[in-house]
Structure 1
Amino acid sequence: MNPIDKFRLRTETQEGRCTVYVSGELDLEAASQMRAVMEPLVELCDRTLTLNLHELRYIDSTGIGILISVLKARHARNGAFTVEAIPTHIKKLFDMTGITPFLNQAGPSAAQAY
Protein backbone atom coordinates (compact mmCIF):
# COMPACT_ATOMS: atom_id res chain seq x y z
CA MET A 1 0.00 0.00 0.00
CA ASN A 2 1.23 3.45 -0.85
CA PRO A 3 2.16 5.24 2.42
CA ILE A 4 0.27 8.33 1.24
CA ASP A 5 -2.93 6.29 1.00
CA LYS A 6 -2.47 4.62 4.40
CA PHE A 7 -3.93 7.57 6.30
CA ARG A 8 -5.63 10.73 5.10
CA LEU A 9 -7.56 13.59 6.63
CA ARG A 10 -9.81 16.10 4.94
CA THR A 11 -11.46 19.01 6.73
CA GLU A 12 -14.62 20.79 5.73
CA THR A 13 -16.28 23.76 7.38
CA GLN A 14 -20.01 24.07 6.92
CA GLU A 15 -22.54 26.27 8.63
CA GLY A 16 -22.82 24.99 12.15
CA ARG A 17 -19.91 22.53 12.17
CA CYS A 18 -16.32 21.66 11.33
CA THR A 19 -16.00 18.12 9.97
CA VAL A 20 -12.83 16.05 9.76
CA TYR A 21 -13.07 13.07 7.41
CA VAL A 22 -10.69 10.32 8.55
CA SER A 23 -9.70 7.55 6.15
CA GLY A 24 -7.25 4.69 6.29
CA GLU A 25 -5.43 3.54 9.41
CA LEU A 26 -5.23 5.72 12.52
CA ASP A 27 -2.29 4.22 14.35
CA LEU A 28 0.97 5.30 15.99
CA GLU A 29 2.45 6.18 12.59
CA ALA A 30 -0.46 8.52 11.77
CA ALA A 31 -0.83 10.00 15.26
CA SER A 32 1.29 13.12 14.69
CA GLN A 33 -0.64 13.96 11.52
CA MET A 34 -3.97 13.50 13.33
CA ARG A 35 -2.86 15.65 16.26
CA ALA A 36 -1.56 18.38 13.93
CA VAL A 37 -5.00 18.68 12.34
CA MET A 38 -7.11 18.24 15.45
CA GLU A 39 -5.30 20.47 17.97
CA PRO A 40 -6.06 23.79 16.23
CA LEU A 41 -9.64 22.72 15.55
CA VAL A 42 -10.20 21.77 19.19
CA GLU A 43 -9.10 25.27 20.17
CA LEU A 44 -10.54 27.36 17.35
CA CYS A 45 -13.67 25.67 16.06
CA ASP A 46 -16.56 27.60 17.56
CA ARG A 47 -19.02 25.19 15.99
CA THR A 48 -19.66 21.50 16.47
CA LEU A 49 -16.47 19.54 15.76
CA THR A 50 -17.37 16.30 13.99
CA LEU A 51 -15.22 13.30 13.08
CA ASN A 52 -16.56 11.30 10.15
CA LEU A 53 -15.09 7.79 10.37
CA HIS A 54 -16.84 6.27 7.35
CA GLU A 55 -13.54 5.45 5.60
CA LEU A 56 -11.56 4.53 8.72
CA ARG A 57 -10.29 0.97 8.26
CA TYR A 58 -8.27 0.56 11.46
CA ILE A 59 -7.64 2.33 14.76
CA ASP A 60 -5.21 1.31 17.51
CA SER A 61 -4.89 2.43 21.12
CA THR A 62 -2.96 5.54 20.06
CA GLY A 63 -5.84 6.60 17.83
CA ILE A 64 -8.39 5.91 20.55
CA GLY A 65 -6.25 8.00 22.91
CA ILE A 66 -6.41 10.91 20.47
CA LEU A 67 -10.21 10.66 20.32
CA ILE A 68 -10.39 10.70 24.12
CA SER A 69 -8.04 13.71 24.26
CA VAL A 70 -10.21 15.61 21.77
CA LEU A 71 -13.34 14.67 23.70
CA LYS A 72 -11.86 15.93 26.99
CA ALA A 73 -10.50 19.14 25.44
CA ARG A 74 -13.82 19.99 23.78
CA HIS A 75 -15.68 19.25 27.02
CA ALA A 76 -13.34 21.56 28.95
CA ARG A 77 -14.14 24.35 26.47
CA ASN A 78 -17.87 23.57 26.41
CA GLY A 79 -17.46 22.80 22.71
CA ALA A 80 -19.63 20.24 20.96
CA PHE A 81 -17.87 17.13 19.63
CA THR A 82 -19.56 14.36 17.66
CA VAL A 83 -18.49 11.22 15.84
CA GLU A 84 -20.44 9.99 12.82
CA ALA A 85 -20.50 7.14 10.32
CA ILE A 86 -18.63 4.71 12.56
CA PRO A 87 -17.92 1.47 10.66
CA THR A 88 -19.24 -1.64 12.40
CA HIS A 89 -15.81 -3.12 13.13
CA ILE A 90 -14.63 0.17 14.67
CA LYS A 91 -17.85 0.50 16.70
CA LYS A 92 -17.24 -2.99 18.13
CA LEU A 93 -13.76 -1.90 19.23
CA PHE A 94 -15.20 1.27 20.81
CA ASP A 95 -17.75 -0.92 22.62
CA MET A 96 -15.06 -3.32 23.88
CA THR A 97 -12.86 -0.49 25.16
CA GLY A 98 -15.78 1.21 26.86
CA ILE A 99 -15.61 4.58 25.10
CA THR A 100 -18.90 4.34 23.18
CA PRO A 101 -21.02 5.92 25.96
CA PHE A 102 -18.75 8.98 25.95
CA LEU A 103 -18.95 9.57 22.19
CA ASN A 104 -21.77 11.77 21.01
CA GLN A 105 -22.76 9.95 17.83
CA ALA A 106 -24.33 12.00 15.05
CA GLY A 107 -26.21 10.78 12.03
CA PRO A 108 -26.55 7.19 10.90
CA SER A 109 -23.83 4.75 11.82
CA ALA A 110 -22.00 3.15 8.94
CA ALA A 111 -23.50 -0.29 9.11
CA GLN A 112 -21.19 -2.10 6.75
CA ALA A 113 -19.43 -5.25 7.82
CA TYR A 114 -15.78 -5.88 7.10
Structure 2
Amino acid sequence: MNLNIDVKQPEERYSVMTLVGEVDAFTAPKLKEELLPLTQAEEAVVEVDLAAVNYMDSTGLGIFISALKSAKEYGATLKLTHMQERVYRLFKITGLTEIIDIDTSVKEGGS
Protein backbone atom coordinates (compact mmCIF):
# COMPACT_ATOMS: atom_id res chain seq x y z
CA MET A 1 0.00 0.00 0.00
CA ASN A 2 1.10 3.52 -0.65
CA LEU A 3 0.58 6.80 1.18
CA ASN A 4 -0.89 9.84 -0.53
CA ILE A 5 -0.23 13.17 1.12
CA ASP A 6 -2.18 16.31 0.35
CA VAL A 7 -1.32 19.60 2.02
CA LYS A 8 -3.55 22.66 1.91
CA GLN A 9 -2.78 26.00 3.51
CA PRO A 10 -6.11 27.84 3.79
CA GLU A 11 -4.47 30.56 5.89
CA GLU A 12 -0.95 31.74 6.55
CA ARG A 13 0.65 29.55 9.25
CA TYR A 14 -2.26 27.08 9.11
CA SER A 15 -1.81 23.80 7.24
CA VAL A 16 -4.08 20.82 6.82
CA MET A 17 -2.34 17.60 5.80
CA THR A 18 -4.62 14.80 4.62
CA LEU A 19 -3.18 11.29 4.56
CA VAL A 20 -4.61 8.41 2.55
CA GLY A 21 -3.17 4.92 2.84
CA GLU A 22 -0.80 3.29 5.30
CA VAL A 23 1.90 4.82 7.47
CA ASP A 24 4.67 2.27 7.88
CA ALA A 25 8.42 1.84 7.48
CA PHE A 26 8.06 2.15 3.69
CA THR A 27 5.95 5.34 3.62
CA ALA A 28 7.22 7.09 6.78
CA PRO A 29 10.22 8.84 5.15
CA LYS A 30 7.89 10.58 2.68
CA LEU A 31 5.60 11.65 5.52
CA LYS A 32 8.52 12.98 7.57
CA GLU A 33 9.86 14.91 4.57
CA GLU A 34 6.54 16.72 4.13
CA LEU A 35 5.37 17.05 7.76
CA LEU A 36 8.43 18.33 9.59
CA PRO A 37 8.89 21.52 7.53
CA LEU A 38 5.28 22.48 8.29
CA THR A 39 6.02 22.36 12.03
CA GLN A 40 9.12 24.53 11.65
CA ALA A 41 7.33 27.85 11.24
CA GLU A 42 6.86 30.10 14.27
CA GLU A 43 3.36 29.70 15.74
CA ALA A 44 2.20 27.50 12.87
CA VAL A 45 -0.84 25.28 13.31
CA VAL A 46 -0.58 21.91 11.59
CA GLU A 47 -3.61 19.64 11.47
CA VAL A 48 -3.15 16.10 10.19
CA ASP A 49 -6.33 14.37 8.98
CA LEU A 50 -5.98 10.61 9.46
CA ALA A 51 -9.51 9.61 8.42
CA ALA A 52 -8.24 7.53 5.49
CA VAL A 53 -5.29 5.92 7.31
CA ASN A 54 -6.28 2.39 8.26
CA TYR A 55 -2.84 1.14 9.30
CA MET A 56 0.10 2.63 11.14
CA ASP A 57 3.15 0.96 12.66
CA SER A 58 5.70 2.17 15.19
CA THR A 59 7.65 3.96 12.46
CA GLY A 60 4.63 6.17 11.89
CA LEU A 61 4.34 6.88 15.61
CA GLY A 62 7.99 7.93 15.58
CA ILE A 63 7.30 10.46 12.81
CA PHE A 64 4.52 12.05 14.85
CA ILE A 65 6.76 12.20 17.93
CA SER A 66 9.44 13.93 15.83
CA ALA A 67 6.84 16.34 14.47
CA LEU A 68 5.60 17.11 17.99
CA LYS A 69 9.15 17.84 19.20
CA SER A 70 9.73 20.07 16.18
CA ALA A 71 6.44 21.90 16.74
CA LYS A 72 7.30 22.58 20.39
CA GLU A 73 10.74 23.83 19.40
CA TYR A 74 9.22 26.40 17.02
CA GLY A 75 6.16 27.31 19.12
CA ALA A 76 3.89 25.59 16.61
CA THR A 77 0.85 23.39 17.25
CA LEU A 78 0.36 19.85 15.96
CA LYS A 79 -3.10 18.31 15.99
CA LEU A 80 -4.17 14.88 14.74
CA THR A 81 -7.78 14.45 13.66
CA HIS A 82 -10.30 11.85 12.49
CA MET A 83 -8.39 8.72 13.48
CA GLN A 84 -9.90 5.35 12.82
CA GLU A 85 -10.32 3.23 15.94
CA ARG A 86 -7.47 0.83 15.15
CA VAL A 87 -5.00 3.70 14.68
CA TYR A 88 -6.24 5.51 17.79
CA ARG A 89 -5.69 2.34 19.84
CA LEU A 90 -2.02 2.37 18.83
CA PHE A 91 -1.64 5.93 20.16
CA LYS A 92 -3.59 5.03 23.30
CA ILE A 93 -1.57 1.87 24.08
CA THR A 94 1.72 3.75 23.74
CA GLY A 95 0.54 6.66 25.91
CA LEU A 96 0.84 9.18 23.08
CA THR A 97 -2.75 10.31 23.60
CA GLU A 98 -1.43 12.05 26.72
CA ILE A 99 1.14 14.18 24.88
CA ILE A 100 -0.21 14.71 21.35
CA ASP A 101 -3.34 16.78 20.68
CA ILE A 102 -5.75 14.26 19.19
CA ASP A 103 -9.29 15.10 18.15
CA THR A 104 -11.21 12.49 20.13
CA SER A 105 -14.02 12.15 17.59
CA VAL A 106 -12.61 8.83 16.45
CA LYS A 107 -13.91 7.33 13.22
CA GLU A 108 -15.37 3.88 13.75
CA GLY A 109 -14.35 0.85 11.79
CA GLY A 110 -12.15 1.08 8.77
CA SER A 111 -10.67 -1.83 6.93
* Aligned counterpart in structure 2 of residue 28 of structure 1, from 22, 25, 48: 25
Q: Shift in Å at residue 110 of structure 1?
A: 1.8
**Letter of the aligned partner of 1:7 in structure 2?**
L
Q: Shift in Å at residue 34 of structure 1?
A: 0.7
- 2:76 aligned partner: 79
Q: Is the 8 A contact 1:22 1:53 kept in 2?
A: yes
- 1:9 aligned partner: 5
Q: Comparing both structures, which one devotes a greater share of its residues to helix?
A: 1
**Letter of the aligned partner of 1:104 in structure 2?**
D
- 2:41 aligned partner: 44
> Partner of 1:19: helix, strand, or coil?
strand
In terms of mean alpha carbon deviation, does 48-57 or 38-47 score higher?
Answer: 38-47
Normalising by structure 1, report the TM-score: 0.85
**Letter of the aligned partner of 1:92 in structure 2?**
R
How well do the aligned residues superpose, as a CA RMSD in angstroms? 1.9
> Partner of 1:20: helix, strand, or coil?
strand
Report sequence identity in percent.
Answer: 22
Distance 2:42 2:25 in 1: 25
| 1:88 lines up with 2:85 in the alignment | yes
- 1:103 aligned partner: 100
Query: Gaps spanning 5+ residues in structure 1: where?
Result: none
Q: Is the 8 A contact 1:41 1:49 kept in 2?
A: yes
Alpha-carbon distance change, 107 to 19 in structure 1, aligned in 2, over 3 angstroms: farther
Distance 1:13 1:107 in 2: 23
- 1:56 aligned partner: 53
- Equivalenced residue count is 110
